[in-house]
Chains A and B, each alone.
Chain A
Amino acid sequence: MAFELEYDRSLYGVEHKAGPFPVTLDVVKSFTQGIGETNPIFIDEAAAKAAGYAGLVAPPTLCTIFVRQVKLPDVKLNFGKSGMHAGQKVQSLAPIVVGDEITASSHLKDVYAKTGRTGTMAFVVWETSFSNQNGQVVAEVQESFARRE
């Protein structure tokens, strides 16, 4: 029998908009310095432009930092106590370059329970679509958060 979770199901189908988030040189530099990036396309504007890009290119998971700036409502999940970031999926659809303005649209994708050897866990999955100033979708991000019994 499926585990029946108690949470706010009215959140399904509701889009939560955020942004625009400016992709500044500072944002991309901090991101690339943090991960020790060495690819010239991501750290050298002249190299990026020589390769045909409009500006310094952001690494493909940059949008994950904007996900954290989207104010998402409490799903009121009545299960467990401590939570953790369980997983993340990024689909990169187009390059993001310095000067872009990125907007986000998030919705609740799924809430489900899974039972394994260590007990039951509940997962909350949010999906966010990111678009640039031209309306082009540049990335889709899914984040899942888990709570343990």
Chain B
Amino acid sequence: MPYFEEIELGDEVGPLVIEASDDGVLEFCRVWGNDAPSRFTDAAIAEKDRFAGPIVPGIMSMALMARLFTDWAGPEALKDLDLVFRQPVPHNSPLNISATITDTRQEDGENILECDVLMTGPEGQRYVGGKALVSLPSRT
């Protein structure tokens, strides 16, 4: 796990390269009670809604992006994740998730990193972007 003192502005976190599979999206939709065919799981409905194919739910994109930080700094490190969904995220395509540290500070006794976080596609498509606040322990 990284320590606060090791971090410098401009440091990169990741990338986490991952795909949202058809089965993964189905499982995710099932857990939030969205079992019925939808733009997230059904190609015909997605096309009717003017998407090229089934898309990844925004809340699933968010969960994937949260993984970048919990993989890196532990299960309680992510304090705040604020995302803007810029483009539909497709299934079965590599998603590159990475972050850049833009600020470091101590706040209410916590060591806080502020990060710009981005999910991009294989051709540089900027699917989801936003900001994250991450808490790191001190070395001492």
Whether A39 lies near B80 (C-beta < 8 A) is no
Q: Are A86 and B59 closer than 8 Å at their CB atoms?
A: no
Q: How far is the CA of A51 from the CA of B30 in the complex (A)?
A: 29
Q: Do the beta carbons of B18 and A36 come within 8 Å of each other?
A: yes
B67 — which chain A residues lie within 8 A by C-beta? 35-37, 39, 59
Pair B33/A60 contact, Cβ less than 8 Å: no
Contact A86 B84 (CB under 8 A): yes
Query: What is the minimal beta-carbon distance from B89 to any residue of chain A, in angstroms?
Result: 11
A85 touches B58 (CB 8 A): yes
Given A33, A84, A88, which contacts B59 in the complex, CB threshold below 8 Å? A88
Question: How many pairs of A and B residues are in contact by the CB < 8 Å rule?
Answer: 105
Asked if A91 meets B32 with Cβ closer than 8 Å, knowing A34-B25, A61-B59, A61-B62, the reply is no
- Residue A9 interfacial (CB < 8 Å): no
Q: Is A27 in the interface zone, CB < 8 Å from B?
A: yes
Q: Which one, B63, B78, B84, contacts A35 given CB within 8 A?
A: B63
Question: Which residue from chain A places its CB closest to the CB of B21 in the assembled complex?
Answer: A36
* B24 on interface, CB distance cutoff 8 Å: yes
Please state if B59 and A91 are interface contacts (CB–CB under 8 Å).
no
Cα of A35 to Cα of B74 in the assembled complex, Å: 16
A42 to B76, CA, bound (A): 11
Q: Which residues of B contact A38 (CB under 8 A)?
A: 71
Could you tell me the distance between the alpha carbons of A57 and B32 in the complex, rounded to whole angstroms? 18
Identify which of residues 63-86 in chain B touch chain A, using a CB-to-CB cut-off of 8 Å: 63-64, 66-67, 70-71, 74-76, 78-85
Q: Is B31 within 8 A of A31, CB to CB?
A: yes
Q: How far is the CB of A46 from chain B (nearest CB, A)?
A: 15
Chain B residues whose CB sits within 8 angstroms of the CB of A84 once the complex forms? 85
**Complex contacts, B93 vs chain A, CB 8 Å:** none
Residues of B contacting A90 in the complex (Cβ-Cβ under 8 angstroms):
62, 66, 80-82
Q: Which of B24, B62, B66, B79 contacts A34 (CB 8 A)?
A: B24
User: Which residues of A are found within 8 Å of B33, using beta-carbon distances?
Assistant: 68-69
Q: Which 3 A-B pairs have the closest CB atoms?
A: A34-B28, A30-B31, A65-B32
Given A33-B24, A34-B31, A35-B63, 17 more A-B residue pairs with CB atoms under 8 Å apart are A31-B63, A35-B18, A35-B24, A38-B71, A39-B71, A57-B75, A59-B66, A59-B67, A60-B66, A60-B81, A61-B62, A65-B32, A86-B85, A88-B82, A88-B83, A89-B80, A95-B75
